[in-house]
Amino acid sequence: MHSDHPEVRPHKNKHVAERFEGLLGMMMVVVIVLLAIGAVYMVATGDSTPSWMH
């Protein structure tokens, strides 16, 4: 028998690019927090180079 309805495929999970786009916002927040911690360290110690890099 022939059906008039096309075969309906279930939706795939999100594409890799869409998942990366979702993670991009979170990664930006993490980077901003790390930069803020570095800026506070620099202001608090008066030295822009951490002691472990000397």
Please give the structure tokens belonging to residue 40: 């506070």
CA 48 to mean position of chain CA atoms: 27
pLDDT of residue 34: 95
Question: pLDDT tens per residue, the chain (54 residues)?
Answer: 556 667 777 666 667 777 788 889 999 999 999 999 988 888 888 876 767 777
41 contacts 50 by C-beta, under 8 angstroms: yes
Distance CA 51, CA 34 (A): 17
Residue with tokens 């980077």: 31
pLDDT of residue 36: 94
7 phi/psi in degrees, rounded to 5 = -65, 130
**What does the chain come to in residues?**
54
